[in-house]
Amino acid sequence: MKENGSSIHHILKTTFGYDQFRPGQEEVIQHILNKKDALVIMPTGGGKSICYQIPALASEGLTVVISPLIALMEDQVESLRQNGVEAAALNSSLSRDEQLMVHHKIKSKTLKLLYVSPERINTDSFYQYMKTLDISFFAIDEAHCVSIWGNDFRSDYVALKNLKLQFPQIPIIALTATADEATREDIKNQLNIQSSKLFLSSFERDNIFLKSMPAKDRIKYITRFIFNQQGGAGIVYCLSRKSTESIAQKLQKAGIQAGFYHAGMNQEDRSQVQRNFQNDNIQVICATIAFGMGIDKSNIRFVVHYNMPKNIESYYQEIGRAGRDGHISSTILFSNYNDYLQLQQFIDSSEANATFKQVQTAKLNRMWEYASGYECRTNFILNYFGEYKQEPCGRCDNCKQPPIKFDGTILAQKALSAVTRSNQSIGMELLINVLRGSGMREIYARDLHTIKTFGAGRDLPYLDWKSYITQLINQGFLSINFSQNSVVQLTPFSADILQGKKAVELVQFVKDKDKKVVKKPSIFRVEDELYEILRTWRNDLAKKKKIPAYTVLTNTTLEELSASKPTELEDLYEINGIGEVKFNKYGQSIIQIIQDYMNKSN
């Protein structure tokens, strides 16, 4: 055991260049080395890959990794190769010769990690083939894809249940970032690893600040927000392909270096954008959810959701891409009823079975409760993932600007009465205008100016009413009929309010206070000079080698280099992210660059 411990530390340092394991990693690695099954739940950015890559290196034989996306596999393989690890991916994008090469390496036992897609592994011939090999263990990445309770069910994953049946003696490690309790149990059942040990890392990311607000004046708000980021990079997630393009264009007009990314673009354009973002040549990416899986950029300073995601799992995964370097990062979630409606329609019109639709609807409702809720947002998420916490986080918008509650019974009565008197036939916007006694043509055309509550809420601004009606909906006193033009209707609880039998507590609407604008910065952050020199060198090298820049050295490593300015080769052992292979490959050049820089500036 002890020997194991020191050898895995050795691998962590020499191969990956890290000094310490992150919480949870070492326990998982030991468990696998003891040949036992494991289910590992770790938040995005928590460091799941090392949990199976190190035991793969410390074991005899070949580790087979099942991963859902070719792009994801290729990134992982490239990163491993750059660290001197023999890894390969078998997928449809390989030429015949390349495939032969991979098989040759397997045969000669030089390959340590083989990445395979689920379609590939689930064939009889591949099972037969695997039986001839010495396999140390199976790693199933993005394991939530096996469960309909998860947020990204893939039918190809279902057949993975045969792995345990066909190879009962080979351990399985299933890994995912997103699994509530139901999904966890389901993953175990689906993969036939019922007695596997669960490793659950904390989902709390204390450098990520959460904020949620109604979708209003979004472009203006986002532009201002980005100017305040002083060049820090970020992602704006959008619901549709088209909107990624139009929003990017609007940001560009405001002077922000923005690009867009969606699955409808060709591969070349997509890689180009991703590279530009990864290398800090583009500050902001407007993207659909297609963007992000496998992206290893540690200095993402903000994630904005232009629209509400379909569930907490997706939301948490997407915001989890911010702040992997541990520095403070912001998130903003915009949401409104149209998002909710549209997402509900996606679910309703999908081909899925009724159970699946029910699950997705329940998840969507929780998302909406989150977006419009007044409790600590961090705790909402932690509770959602079954990690119960009461102490408020102190950094989300609800903690920083605690809601002020008041007796809203009379307001509620006015709203409910207007709904009643308009025969439950008008939508939220019109309802507010009726309450405010607006002179809109539609009100007169529909005779709504004659009802008794017309103008009864004149004293409150539009946005205040919008907030209060939304709260009434969330508390169950009103509802929205999505199948009927989203008209606002009464619920079984409404009568008690109208008859004065029950009081309603509302939270005071507060206009957003974060509207301070700082001076528009020069388009991009001015890093320190040495960092820029190192970055240019790294990027040129990556271009020459035709590999992603971060697989040469990550920005965090460059930051560390430019801060500590090592001038002796051996000092490089202290730098995170430089293992033996990179030390040998790049050490001399790095030291030369730093020495030149120091000589020049002295």
Is the CB of 325 or the CB of 514 nearer to ligand ADP? 325
**Partner that binds at residue 49, options Zn ion, ligand ADP, none, CB closer than 5 to 8 Å by kind:** ligand ADP
Angstrom distance (rounded) from CA 524 to CA 600? 25
Stated as kind and residue range, the H or E segment containing 138 is: strand 135-140
Find the binder of ligand ADP among 24, 38, 41, 45 (CB under 6 A): 45
Is the CB of 229 or the CB of 378 nearer to Zn ion? 378
Smallest distance from Zn ion to CB 399, Å? 3
Is 140 among the residues that bind Zn ion (CB under 5 A)? Answer: no
CB 28, CB 38: distance < 8 Å: yes
Residue among 72, 561, 13 at smallest CA distance from 296: 72
Alpha-carbon distance values, 509 to 108, 151, 431, 466 (Å): 68, 33, 18, 9
**Partner that binds at residue 378, options Zn ion, ligand ADP, none, CB closer than 5 to 8 Å by kind:** Zn ion
Q: Single out the segment in contact with ligand ADP by CB under 6 A; choices: 17-25, 215-223, 273-281, 399-407.
A: 17-25
Show contacts with Zn ion in window 329-388 (CB under 5 A). Answer: 376, 378
**Partner that binds at residue 457, options Zn ion, ligand ADP, none, CB closer than 5 to 8 Å by kind:** none
DSSP label at residue 165: H
Smallest distance from Zn ion to CB 95, Å? 52
Is 118 among the residues that bind ligand ADP (CB under 6 A)? Answer: no
Please give the biggest Cα pair distance in the chain: 87
Show contacts with ligand ADP in window 47-76 (CB under 6 A). Answer: 47-50
3-state secondary structure of 110: coil
Smallest distance from Zn ion to CB 376, Å? 3
Angstrom distance (rounded) from CA 334 to CA 322? 17
Q: How many helices (H) and strands (E) does the chain have?
A: 27, 18
- The count of other CB atoms within 10 Å of the CB of residue 456 is 19
Q: What angle do CA 303, 307, 312 make, to 5 degrees?
A: 70
**Partner that binds at residue 296, options Zn ion, ligand ADP, none, CB closer than 5 to 8 Å by kind:** ligand ADP
Smallest distance from ligand ADP to CB 175, Å? 8
Is 380 among the residues that bind ligand ADP (CB under 6 A)? Answer: no
Alpha-carbon distance values, 122 to 162, 172, 448 (Å): 8, 16, 63
Residue among 300, 364, 298, 374 at smallest CA distance from 337: 364
Is 298 among the residues that bind ligand ADP (CB under 6 A)? Answer: yes
Tokens 């509207």 sit on residue: 515
Q: Which residue is nearest to ligand ADP (CB)?
A: 47
Angstrom distance (rounded) from CA 225 to CA 402? 22
- Compute and round to an integer the Cα radius of gyration of the chain: 27
Is 150 among the residues that bind ligand ADP (CB under 6 A)? Answer: no
**Partner that binds at residue 50, options ligand ADP, Zn ion, none, CB closer than 5 to 8 Å by kind:** ligand ADP
3-state secondary structure of 381: helix
Kindly tell me the sign of the dihedral angle through the C-alpha atoms of 166, 172, 177, 180. Answer: positive
425-434 CB contacts, 8 Å cutoff, 24+ apart = 425/487, 426/487, 426/488, 427/485, 427/486, 427/487, 427/488, 428/337, 428/466, 428/469, 428/480, 428/486, 428/488, 431/469, 431/488, 432/457, 432/462, 432/465, 432/466, 432/469
Smallest distance from Zn ion to CB 179, Å? 23
Show contacts with Zn ion in window 379-408 (CB under 5 A). Answer: 392-393, 396, 399
Q: Single out the segment in contact with ligand ADP by CB under 6 A; choices: 16-24, 118-126, 181-189, 592-600.
A: 16-24
Helix then strand then coil, % of the chain, to nearest 5: 50, 15, 40
Find the binder of ligand ADP among 22, 81, 105, 366 (CB under 6 A): 22
Show contacts with ligand ADP in window 310-329 (CB under 6 A). Answer: 324
**Partner that binds at residue 456, options Zn ion, ligand ADP, none, CB closer than 5 to 8 Å by kind:** none
Alpha-carbon distance values, 7 to 55, 59, 103, 304 (Å): 10, 11, 28, 42
**Partner that binds at residue 24, options ligand ADP, Zn ion, none, CB closer than 5 to 8 Å by kind:** none
Is 40 among the residues that bind ligand ADP (CB under 6 A)? Answer: no
Contact letters for Zn ion, residues 69-108 (x by CB under 5 A): ----------------------------------------
- The count of other CB atoms within 10 Å of the CB of residue 22 is 15
Angstrom distance (rounded) from CA 485 to CA 504? 27
Q: How many residues at the interface with Zn ion, by CB under 5 A?
A: 6
Bridging pattern class, strands 87-90 and 135-140: unpaired
Is the CB of 132 or the CB of 390 nearer to Zn ion? 390
Contact letters for ligand ADP, residues 253-292 (x by CB under 6 A): ----------------------------------------
CB 407, CB 503: distance < 8 Å: yes
Q: How many residues at the interface with ligand ADP, by CB under 6 A?
A: 16
Residue among 327, 321, 257, 317 at smallest CA distance from 286: 257
Is the CB of 399 or the CB of 490 nearer to Zn ion? 399
Angstrom distance (rounded) from CA 389 to CA 382? 7
Is the CB of 157 or the CB of 337 nearer to ligand ADP? 157
Is the CB of 43 or the CB of 457 nearer to ligand ADP? 43
First CA to last CA distance, the chain: 51
Smallest distance from Zn ion to CB 211, Å? 10
Residue among 338, 324, 312, 152 at smallest CA distance from 240: 338
CB 111, CB 62: distance < 8 Å: yes
Find the binder of ligand ADP among 28, 29, 42, 416 (CB under 6 A): 42
Is 41 among the residues that bind ligand ADP (CB under 6 A)? Answer: no
Find the binder of ligand ADP among 46, 232, 323, 566 (CB under 6 A): 46
What's phi and psi for 300, nearest 5 deg?
Answer: -75, 120
Q: Single out the segment in contact with ligand ADP by CB under 6 A; choices: 20-28, 193-201, 403-411, 445-453.
A: 20-28
Is 170 among the residues that bind Zn ion (CB under 5 A)? Answer: no
Is the CB of 383 or the CB of 491 nearer to Zn ion? 383
**Partner that binds at residue 393, options ligand ADP, Zn ion, none, CB closer than 5 to 8 Å by kind:** Zn ion
Is the CB of 226 or the CB of 295 nearer to ligand ADP? 295
Q: Site residues (CB under 6 A) for ligand ADP? A: 18, 20-22, 25, 42, 44-50, 296, 298, 324
Q: Site residues (CB under 5 A) for Zn ion? A: 376, 378, 392-393, 396, 399
